[in-house]
Amino acid sequence: MSLPASPVHAQRLYCHTPSVRGSGPVAYWMSRDQRLHDNWALLQAQHMARTRQAPLIIVFCLVPSYSGGARRHFDFMLTGLRQVADSAAKLGIPFVLLTGEDPPGELAGFCRTHAIGTVVMDFDPLRTKQQWQHTFAGHWEGECLEVDAHNVVPCRWASEKQEYAARTIRPKLQRQLPEFLDPFPELVPHPVPWRGSLLPEPDWEAASRSLAAPEYGPPLSWSSGEETALDLAREFIASGLSAYAEKRNDPTAGAVSGLSPYLHFGQIAPQRVALMARDANWAPAESREGFLEELVIRRELAENFCFYNPVYDCFGGLPAWAQQTLDDHRGDHREVVYTFEQWEAARTHDPLWNAAQQEMVQTGKMHGYMRMYWAKKILEWSASPEEALSTAITLNDRYELDGRDPNGYTGVLWSIGGVHDRPWKERPVYGKVRYMNDRGAARKFDVQAYIRRFFPATASERQGTLPLG
């Protein structure tokens, strides 16, 4: 009996090897979207395997020293992956964990050994993952297909160029949302068992021992995995969404979803959360629309920026007006200049900044409003914009559970260099880049309550951090 057409929208697919047609087993190279359900890439892989009555396997390539990742990142990820492997086994889908510093080479060798015919990959806009995929596709003889399971509107399809701002990408996404914001089909038990040579069982303890990851910050209490992510999303939609529009910029209100680590590791699909928010008719329209603006429009704007701008984490990635104005103010007097070690240890004269840094170190996450303030003050008290970018990105990627993410890079470049923003009133150091200060924060929320929570030092202890000048 023939199967129906693929449940995956054709515009989610991108073939890296258009002249090659695979046969035999299908491997899903899981990377960015680390979940079993609501995963268009895995659904496409299963469809292809069922069509040719072939086995299906999931392969994950663990890189022990990946991009400066800390132990907290790897622990969160491996816990979630172990759950994926256990759930996949119940559906007759083997999970293979490869370990090494050369994912394209490791995967190519595995595919040749086990006669894989087709590899389905996750879309990822970041340089390292793009390079891995191009290297693999260029040196492997089989079929190689990419599926965008991370964006509601596929990044390659949403726009063919780097968008200037939210106002330029918003109408494009809104026009296409009805076509792509559709329900997910179920992943079914795979009917064809693995018949090839013996597959290696994942050795999770050995994988953990292989990690070259430093212990940045204390251990975290976050639970990991797609079931936890879905429960958290349900709780937010049911009890938090209604107040989102009113309280989302208040770091003391607990009004945000807390989903960013789960979205970053692909433990929940943004499309699933968008469907839940869209259908939450009990919540005010302003809150639903504001949440969807952040979840879909702003997040996919960040995807667009990183995909089309190869220097998305550098001074050269800033818009021309921002580069010019920051260049014009390089020689401006700074009231204080801190070293990286002082930033990392939260040893500045500003207790609000210190509290934000401590929130990130202690919890693995910083409230979005404070991320903007935090990054802008790094610009104000650094010797150069390049140094500020390096400091902010390094700290973000070192401590945030959602580090090394398009949202993170875009947020830092927005704060420090006006990406997706416009020129504002000119002032020292910032030039025409938007300015923020603690007085503005105090108009939005109880600054002292936030400081007491994350930086509960006495006044005399604060004075002993670092003086101005």
- Its pTM stands at 0.95
Q: Are residues 395 and 421 in the same domain?
A: yes
- Dist CA 269 CA 257 (whole Å): 14
Q: Are residues 177 and 257 in the same domain?
A: yes
pLDDT band at 312 (very low <50, low <70, confident <90, very high): very high
User: 24 Cβ partners below 8 Å, 6+ apart?
Assistant: 52, 54, 115, 116, 117, 118
pLDDT of residue 461: 54
Asked if residue 468 has pLDDT above 90, the reply is no
pLDDT of residue 2: 61
Q: Are residues 249 and 120 in the same domain?
A: no
Average pLDDT, the chain: 94
Q: Are residues 338 and 302 in the same domain?
A: no
Q: What are 33-77's pLDDT values in tens digits?
A: 999 999 999 999 999 999 999 999 999 999 998 877 899 999 999
Q: What are 407-422's pLDDT values in tens digits?
A: 999 999 999 999 999 9
pLDDT of residue 73: 96
Q: Are residues 339 and 456 in the same domain?
A: yes
Number of domains in the chain: 3
Q: Are residues 28 and 164 in the same domain?
A: no
Residue 204 lies in a domain: no
Tell me, what CATH number does 177's domain have?
A: 1.25.40.80
Q: Are residues 283 and 326 in the same domain?
A: no
Residue 209 lies in a domain: no
Q: Are residues 19 and 134 in the same domain?
A: yes
Residue 278 lies in a domain: yes
Across the range 387-403, mean pLDDT stands at 97
Asked if residue 137 has pLDDT above 90, the reply is yes
Across the range 320-334, mean pLDDT stands at 98
Q: Are residues 279 and 136 in the same domain?
A: no
Sheet bearing 118-122, strands edge to edge: 13-15, 143-147, 118-122, 26-30, 56-62, 95-99
Tell me, what CATH number does 331's domain have?
A: 1.10.579.10
Q: What are 432-465's pLDDT values in tens digits?
A: 999 999 999 999 999 999 999 999 974 435 444 4
Domain boundary among 150, 167, 192: 150
Domain residue limits at 248: 152-184+224-310
pLDDT of residue 463: 45
pLDDT band at 237 (very low <50, low <70, confident <90, very high): very high
Residue 217 lies in a domain: no
pLDDT band at 196 (very low <50, low <70, confident <90, very high): confident
**Residue predicted with more confidence, 195 or 291:** 291
Residue 379 lies in a domain: yes
Asked if residue 1 has pLDDT above 60, the reply is no
Q: Are residues 433 and 352 in the same domain?
A: yes
pLDDT of residue 65: 87
- Which among 199, 186, 217, 421 has a CA at the least distance from the CA of 321? 421
pLDDT band at 18 (very low <50, low <70, confident <90, very high): confident
Element (H, E) at 147: strand 143-147
Tell me, what CATH number does 7's domain have?
A: 3.40.50.620
Domain boundary among 282, 310, 338: 310
- Dist CA 282 CA 240 (whole Å): 11
- Which among 357, 283, 100, 360 has a CA at the least distance from the CA of 207? 100
Element (H, E) at 271: helix 270-278
Across the range 118-127, mean pLDDT stands at 98
Q: What is the percent of the chain with per-residue pLDDT over 70, rounded to a whole number?
A: 97
Q: What is the percent of the chain with per-residue pLDDT over 90, rounded to a whole number?
A: 91
Burial 286-313 (b: 16+ CB within 10 A, else e): ebbebbbeebbbbbbbbbbbbbbbeebb
Q: What are 249-288's pLDDT values in tens digits?
A: 999 999 999 999 999 999 999 999 999 999 999 999 999 9
Residue 258 lies in a domain: yes
Q: How far is CA 101 from the centre of its chain?
A: 21
Across the range 290-299, mean pLDDT stands at 98
pLDDT of residue 460: 39
Residue 218 lies in a domain: no
pLDDT of residue 445: 96
**Residue predicted with more confidence, 407 or 466:** 407
Q: Are residues 261 and 352 in the same domain?
A: no
Residue 200 lies in a domain: no
pLDDT of residue 23: 85
Across the range 3-18, mean pLDDT stands at 91
Asked if residue 469 has pLDDT above 70, the reply is no
Domain boundary among 310, 343, 363: 310
- Dist CA 370 CA 378 (whole Å): 12
- Dist CA 208 CA 136 (whole Å): 25
Q: Are residues 248 and 143 in the same domain?
A: no
